[in-house]
Amino acid sequence: MTKTLLVLANGRDRVGVLRADVRGYMSFEYDPEWLASPAAYPVSQSIPLRDGAFDHQAIEPFFDGLLPDKKDVRRQIAALFDVAPTDEFGILEHIGRDCAGALMLIHPDQAKSPLQSDAHLSAISTDDLAKRIAELPQRPLFIEEDEVVLSLAGVNDKAAVYIDPATQEISLPFGGYPSTHILKVDIERLPDSTRTEHFCMKLARKVGLDAAHTKIRLFNDRPVLFVTRFDRAYAQTSNGVRVTRLHQEDVCQALGVNPDVKYERQGGPDLAAMFALTKQASTIPARDIPKLLGFVIFNFLIGNPDAHAKNYSLIYRQRPTNAKATNVHTAISPLYDVNNGAAFRDCFKSQRPRLAQSIGGCFDPTELDWPHWESQARMIGSSPTALRKALLTMAKKLRETINPLRDEVRDTDADSPRLDHIVDDVSNRCEAWIRKLG
């Protein structure tokens, strides 16, 4: 018997239908009205707007990419709902009402008015939130048998909350109500990874990059990273602030690559594929190509070993042009999920420097030299001269900014001794490249 889920944009517009046959193989088909709408955008660059059904092979990378990366988290969720951990449709059936981006996956019998039915916020006390945070490893995504409504990709233990823009009060969103923030706790066996990520994200914004906003808050002395969702938009109405979803997909989803092979060494996208996608999909490539290059350079200089293709995204914004038409603006999303590997050298018996995506074919940052960058520039259709200038400029900005930022967060809830390791690692790398290029 075929099972069906409706795919909605912002809980209102019917984008299409996701189906699963008796073997669990999925298919997807766009709704004719969506295809005819000037506001339509593809759920993925790998699932372009067209008539007809897309088969399992075509759509699995996108829909699988909506689910948590951690296999044990999938097993926990699957066990709660008595479905197989490999049954992507079965899991989305229960947690697909608040995914990354604008999409909601709901049962057909909920389609009449999903936003007006059971969508609501539930206030939560600080003590109750602290308890839920402590239980995140056992209750991923704050799962409850009758209240699981959201899905988040990634390897952190995380959940989503709503923070009131005016009062800053925290609530839990249910029934498809859009969340506004993602909260993360430390990665298992990497103490203070929330604080190091916060520091790297602040550093990115300090040097002028478009990066997600983050904040550290303590709950029973446990640091929790709150990340403001950039796939949300806010509008002031007579009833207060209205939150709407913006569609988003990561580069693996956009290229039709399964998240299990997100690293280039595993067969995942390389930088050339990522830049080619940006040139094809971006509304303004002349703006997004330099922006993406800035992200790549920053991730290298910051010493981020996990800058794989799932940690870069496209975001889709609907832009009204007149009363009868709307166009869709596609762009590289803000930077997110940035950290430094050297901060955790004491957590491993040995730590081999590596890059998630090679630069000029080189995966070892200690062996990387200018000819590798020069080769990479040609692979992505960029000017080696322009890339050299961008690399040198970023290295100088980081050198000038990182110590003042370290002083800024000292003796705050965001402080950690590991930040000193980041400062030393990044400063040394920047100095070396300034000497090479200067």
Instruction: List pLDDT tens digits, range 65-76.
Output: 998 877 777 888
Do residues 231 and 102 touch, judged by C-beta distance below 8 A? yes
For the record, the structure tokens of 376 come out as 């990479």
If one counts every other C-beta atom within 10 angstroms of the C-beta of residue 189, the result is 9
349 vs 199, higher pLDDT = 199
- pTM of the full predicted structure? 0.93
Mean pLDDT on 94-105 = 84
Burial class of residue 126 in the structure, from the number of CB atoms within 10 Å of its CB (0-12 exposed, 13-18 middle, 19+ buried): exposed
The residue to which tokens 């909506």 are assigned: 66
Contacts of 37 (CB under 8 A, 6+ apart): 13, 326
Residue 116 burial (10 A CB sphere; 0-12, 13-18, 19+): exposed
Evaluate if residue 94 carries a pLDDT over 90: no
Q: Which one has a higher pLDDT value, 84 or 290?
A: 290
pLDDT band for position 149 (cuts 50, 70, 90):
very low
- Rounding to the nearest 10 degrees, give the CA dihedral for residues 418, 312, 201, 245: -130
Residue 290 CA to chain centroid, in angstroms? 20
pLDDT band at 130 (very low <50, low <70, confident <90, very high): very high
What's the confidence (pLDDT) of residue 141?
64
Q: Is the pLDDT of residue 23 over 70?
A: yes
Q: What is the pLDDT averaged over residues 227-238?
A: 87
- Tell me which range, 21-25, 96-100, 139-143, 192-196, is most confidently predicted by mean pLDDT: 192-196
What is the distance between the alpha carbons of residues 428 and 310, in angstroms, rounded to a whole number? 28
**Phi, psi (5° rounding) for residue 172?**
-100, 130
- Using one digit for the tens of pLDDT, what is the confidence trace for 247-277? 999 999 999 999 999 999 999 999 999 999 9
Predicted confidence (pLDDT) per residue in 206-216, tens digit: 999 999 999 99
The mean pLDDT value of the chain amounts to 90
Q: Is the pLDDT of residue 89 over 80?
A: yes
Instruction: Report the range of poorest mean pLDDT among 109-123, 157-171, 178-192.
Output: 109-123
d(CA 75, CA 67): 12
- Portion of the chain with pLDDT greater than 70, in percent: 93
Q: How many alpha carbons lie under 13 Å from residue 202 in its C-beta half-sphere?
A: 24
